[in-house]
């Protein structure tokens, strides 16, 4: 079964929660393996983040899930990754750091060129950043 690292809107409780996506398509529920990080920088695209892999960056926080292979095309559709077409996100295999050591998994990064002029999420954690941003907007 494939392992997927999710760092943005595919995380539990977020707008594209992969658990909900699996339910909607009648696919077995993903199995949470735990938290993980990947070296990279996270950027704010407004309603979602983009990860730029960077071996020299401290890391981006996310979650590892073991998923049914049938869920991968659903995730590709959510991230608008289509064979033979240029898109913002790409699907890659990459090692991430988990409690038990490195794990090779699928993830959906963006190219460096896509983040020009966008705010960087210094914490590397989309969920915490989004919640703080929304709390700040409510206080304004």
pTM: 0.92
Structural domain boundaries enclosing 96:
3-139
Give the domain CATH number at 89.
3.10.490.10
Q: What are the angstrom distances between the C-alpha of 120 and each of 9, 37, 93, 111?
A: 16, 17, 23, 14
> Rounded distance, CA 31 to CA 95, Å?
18
pLDDT one-digit tens code per residue, 102-135: 999 999 999 999 999 999 999 999 999 999 988 8
The total domain count for the chain is: 1
For residue 73, give the DSSP letter: H
pLDDT tens digits, 18-33: 999 999 999 999 999 9
User: CA distances (Å), 123 to each of 31, 48, 63, 110, in order?
Assistant: 26, 15, 15, 18
């Amino acid at each position: 079964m494939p392992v997927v690292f999710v760092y943005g809107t595919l995380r539990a409780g977020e707008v594209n929660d992969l658990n909900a996506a699996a339910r909607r398509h009648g696919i077995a529920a993903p199995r949470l393996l735990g938290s993980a990080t990947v070296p990279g920088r996270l950027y704010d695209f407004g309603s979602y983040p983009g990860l730029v892999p960077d071996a020299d960056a401290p890391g981006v926080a996310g979650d590892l899930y073991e998923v049914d292979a049938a869920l991968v095309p659903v995730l590709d559709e959510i991230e608008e990754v289509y064979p033979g077409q240029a898109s913002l996100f790409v699907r890659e295999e990459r090692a991430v750091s988990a409690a038990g050591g490195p794990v090779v998994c699928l993830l959906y990064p963006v190219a460096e060129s896509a983040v020009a002029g966008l705010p960087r999420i210094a914490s590397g954690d989309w969920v915490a950043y989004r919640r703080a941003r929304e709390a700040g907007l409510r206080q304004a």
